[in-house]
Amino acid sequence: MPVAPGAVLREPAHRVSRRAVLMWTMQALVVLALLLAAQVVWWLVDDAPSRTPHWVVGAVWLVAGAAYAVAMPQWRYRVHRWEATPRAIYTQSGWLWQERRIAPLGRVQTVDLERGPVAQLLGLAAVTITTASAAGPVTIHGLDLPVAHELVDALTAAAVAETGDAT
Amino acid sequence: MTEDAEGWRRLDARMLLVHPLETLIRFLPALLALVVFRAGSEDNDRWELYAVPLIVAFGVLRWVTTRYRIADGQIELRRGLFTKQTTTARLDKVRTIDLTARVYHRVLGLAKVEISTAGGQRDRLVLDSLGVDAGRRLRAELLHRVDPAVTGLPAPTGAPVADDDVPDDVPPPVDDEVLVRLDPSWIRYAPLTVTGLASAAAIVGFASQGLSRFSQERSVFRDGATFVSRLAWWVDVLLLLGVVSLLAVGAYVLTFWGFRLTRNRLGTLHTRRGLLTNRETSIDAARVRGIRLDEPLGLRLAGARRLKVVTSGLLREQGGSDWLCPPAPAGVVTPLALRIRPDEAAVSGPLTPHGPAARRRRMTRALVPATLAAAGLVVARVLWDWHGSLLVLVPMLFAGAVALGRDRYGALGHTVTPDHLVSRHGSLDRQRVVLDRDGIIGWKVEQSFFQRRVGVATLVATTAAGAQHYDVVDVPVEMAYAVLAQVSPDLSAEFS
In angstroms, rounded to a whole number, what is the distance separating the alpha carbons of residues B224 and B215? 10
**Model confidence at B17: pLDDT above 90:** no
Regions of chain A short of the pLDDT cut 70 = 1-8, 159-167
B484–A8 CB contact, under 8 Å: yes
Q: Which residues of A touch B116 (CB under 8 A)?
A: none
| A167: nearest CB among B118, B448, B494 | B118
Return the percent helix, strand and coil in chain A, to nearest 5. 50, 25, 25
Q: Chain A partners of B442 at a C-beta cutoff of 8 Å? A: 101-104, 107, 131, 133, 136, 138
Mean pLDDT of B33-61: 71
Confidence label for B218 from pLDDT (cuts 50, 70 and 90): low
pLDDT value at residue B208: 65
**For chain B, how are helix, strand and coil distributed in percent, rounded to 5?**
50, 25, 25
Average pLDDT over residues B47-64: 77
Beta-bridged to residue B311, according to DSSP, are B288
Percent of chain B whose predicted confidence (pLDDT) is above 90: 28
Is residue B120 pLDDT above 50, yes or no?
no
Neighboring chain B residues of A103 at a CB cutoff of 8 Å: 441-443, 462
Q: Would you call A9 and B496 a contact, using CB atoms and an 8 Å cutoff?
A: yes
Look at residue B471 and tell me whether its pLDDT is greater than 70.
Answer: yes
| pLDDT at residue B416 greater than cutoff 90 | yes
State whether the Cα torsion B476-B481-B484-B485 is positive or negative: negative
Question: ipTM, 2 decimals?
Answer: 0.86
What count of residues does chain B have?
Answer: 496
Q: What is the enclosing helix (H) or strand (E) of B446?
A: strand B440-447
* Domain boundaries of chain B, sorted by first residue: 9-170, 184-256, 260-353+412-494, 356-409
Of the candidates B92, B158, B156, B98, which has an alpha carbon nearest to the alpha carbon of residue B124? B98
Q: What residues of chain A lie within 8 A of the CB of B467, using their CB?
A: 135
Name the residue among B455, B464, B491 with its Cβ closest to that of A132. B464
Give residue B433's identity as a one-letter amino acid code.
V
CB B197 within 8 Å of CB B191: yes
Angle at B391 between CA B387 and CA B395, to 5 degrees: 165
Q: Provide, as residue numbers in chain B, all residues whose Cβ is less than 8 Å from the Cβ of A12.
A: 495
Non-local CB neighbours of B172 within 8 Å, separated by 6+ positions: B178, B260, B262, B270
Assess contact for B496 and A107: CB atoms under 8 A: no
Measured CB to CB, residues of chain A less than 8 Å from chain B are 3-4, 6-10, 12, 83, 85, 87-88, 90, 96-104, 107, 131-136, 138, 165-167
Q: What is the CA radius of gyration of chain B?
A: 27
Query: How far is B207 from B230, CA to CA, in rounded Å?
Result: 22
Test mutation, A79, A100, A162, chain B, max B CBs within 10 A: A100
pLDDT higher than 70, residue B265: yes
Whole-number Å distance between alpha carbons of A50 and A56: 12
The DSSP code sequence of A49-108 is S--HHHHHHHHHHHHHHHHHHHHHHHHHHHH-EEEE-SSEEEEEEESSSEEEEEEEGGGE
Cα(first)–Cα(last) distance of chain B, in Å?
64
* Per-residue pLDDT tens digits for B282-321: 888 888 899 999 998 889 999 999 999 998 766 555 456 7
What Cα–Cα distance (Å) separates residue B312 from each residue in A56, B254, B421? 52, 26, 17
- Looking at domain A81-161, its CATH class is mainly beta
Question: B335, B341 in Cβ contact below 8 A?
Answer: no
Average pLDDT score, chain A: 85
Q: Where are the domains of chain A?
A: 14-77, 81-161
Is-contact B304 B192, C-beta < 8 A? yes
**How confident is the model at residue B220, as a pLDDT?**
61
Q: Please give the Cα distance from B421 to B485 (Å, whole number).
A: 12
Quote the distance between the C-alpha of residue B333 and its chain's center. 18
pLDDT given for residue B124 in this prediction: 74
Lowest mean pLDDT among B366-370, B389-393, B401-405: B389-393
| Cβ distance of A136 and B469 shorter than 8 Å | yes
Q: In the predicted model, what is the mean pLDDT of residues B402-431?
A: 92
Residue A63's pLDDT is 92
Per-residue pLDDT at A75: 93
- Rounded to whole angstroms, the Cα distance separating B412 from B471 reads 11
Average model confidence (pLDDT) for chain B? 81
